[in-house]
């Protein structure tokens, strides 16, 4: 291996290490994107079909960028240098979280009843980063791939986000399901599972509630 190659590898590892830690701007970006998507869907007047097309185009663009940077070491190095405030060490050899984020939102918009899209994306955009921050700063008791403290935070924020849409009992049930799935070491990116599982949980809660009332 040449000196130039060893230097490049060392530079890349150094760039990746700079993305470790609490990553505050990554959390802010995570939350802002979700809130912006909700605002566009709710008030943009684009319609589901157009929104799905835009999200689909975004996913394709992200996948192309992922393929390029994971195939070309120099491109990956540039990615970690330019986006140090937003990148994560786990993305050094994997698809970026932004790709999974858009995929999760796309799947949720596609399968969820329209009135359950907003709470599902709000859980993704707010509960997930809140749990990560609390877990990193104050997590002391391990649970699954996270901590009890982080999971409790996720649960509480998810309850607050879903309560206006399904009531207290529905929010407690849905938040419990999603918080459990979120902390399990499934190997699937949270940005994909959290909004989809939230939407399905809310739908099940509503369906069960209507069945009980009808009975």
> Model confidence over 42-58: pLDDT tens digits?
999 999 999 999 999 99
List Cβ<8 Å contacts ≥24 apart for 195-198.
195/104, 195/105, 195/107, 195/108, 195/120, 195/121, 195/123, 195/124, 196/104, 196/107, 196/108, 196/111, 196/120, 198/108, 198/119, 198/120, 198/123, 198/124, 198/158, 198/162, 198/174
Cβ(97)–Cβ(189) below 8 Å: yes
Predicted confidence (pLDDT) per residue in 75-130, tens digit? 999 999 999 999 999 999 999 999 999 999 999 999 999 999 999 999 999 999 99
Model pLDDT for residues 129-141, shown as the tens digit of each residue: 999 999 999 989 9
Residue 172 in this model has a pLDDT that exceeds 90: yes
**pTM, entire model:** 0.92
């Amino acid at each position: 291996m040449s000196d130039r190659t060893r230097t490049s590898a060392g530079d890349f590892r150094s760039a990746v290490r700079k993305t470790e830690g609490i990553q505050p701007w990554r959390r802010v970006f995570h939350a802002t994107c979700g809130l912006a998507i909700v605002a566009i869907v709710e008030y943009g007047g684009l319609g589901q079909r157009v929104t799905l097309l835009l999200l689909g185009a975004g996913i394709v663009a992200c996948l192309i960028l992922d393929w390029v940077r994971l195939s070309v070491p120099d491109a990956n190095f540039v990615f970690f240098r330019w986006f140090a405030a937003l990148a994560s060490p786990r993305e050094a050899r994997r698809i970026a979280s932004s790709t999974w984020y858009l995929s999760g939102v796309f799947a949720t918009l596609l399968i969820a009843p329209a009135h359950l899209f907003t709470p599902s994306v709000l859980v993704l955009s707010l509960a997930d980063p809140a749990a990560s921050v609390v877990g990193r700063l104050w997590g002391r008791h391990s649970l699954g791939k996270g901590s009890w403290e982080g999971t409790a935070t996720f649960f509480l924020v998810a309850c607050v986000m879903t309560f206006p849409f399904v009531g207290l009992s529905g929010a407690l049930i849905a938040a419990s399901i999603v918080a459990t799935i979120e902390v399990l070491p499934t190997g699937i990116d949270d940005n994909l599972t959290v909004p989809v599982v939230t939407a399905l949980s809310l739908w099940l809660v509503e369906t069960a509630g209507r069945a009980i009332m009808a009975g």
